[in-house]
Amino acid sequence: MLIRACSLGITKKINSNNGMALTFDDGPNPEYTMKLLDLLKDYGIKATFFVVGNKVKSNPEIIKRMHEEGHTIGIHHFHHVSSWVLSPIHLRRQLDMTAKAINECTNEKVVFYRPPWGHFNIFTPLLSKKYKVIMWSDIFGDWKVEKCKNNLLDQLRTTSTEGSILLLHDCGETLGADKEAPGYMIEMLKIYLQEHKEKGTRFITLKDL
């Protein structure tokens, strides 16, 4: 709570006067991440994906496509497990195994890290010090179908285009999520991106900051 409240060693907004960052957690997912990548490609937008290591191992071709198309790829643990229940050894293992899985697909050093649910423990600052820890300025509950249908587009429209880090989810297989939710998220995101294309909004991938 102290880390998040005081922004100790974490980033919740970017330094940009006319830009924002789209970030996606919990993937890759063979169905929805591919659709999302198609959408981002259509609009020429680069995003940041915080990926789950065991899903990277199962879907390396998706990670390779992300990398080839210029997106940033960061760590979201090897399993979608909260840092609250991890010992120092297990937390380090979650980080190292995920970094290794990503590197095997991209041949690039991993720079960014976002812990699942934004949970930290007292060991996180030490064990994650070689990464840039990224949180968010806006989160939308898009892991639920009804939230996507009823509120997501309106919530997206109210976000600032100046330095915001938006958190969305391209996989609905985690605890409490609806499996079909990413499909509805992508539908709403398409409308949002079209509106902002007309406005000339700049979307930034974190590695380009």
What is the 8-class DSSP label of residue 98? Answer: H
- Residue 138's alpha-carbon distances to 3, 58, 88, 122, in angstroms, are 17, 29, 29, 25
Nearest-angstrom CA–CA distance, 122 and 131: 16
Name the phi and psi angles at 166, rounded to 5: -95, 135
Is 169 noted as a catalytic residue in this protein?
A: yes
Candidate list 25, 26, 142, 170, residue with the active-site label: 25
Candidate list 77, 80, 169, 196, residue with the active-site label: 169
Sole residue written with tokens 């915001």: 164
What is the 8-class DSSP label of residue 73? Answer: E
Nearest-angstrom CA–CA distance, 158 and 68: 32
Is 170 noted as a catalytic residue in this protein?
A: no
Catalogue the active-site residues.
Answer: 25, 169
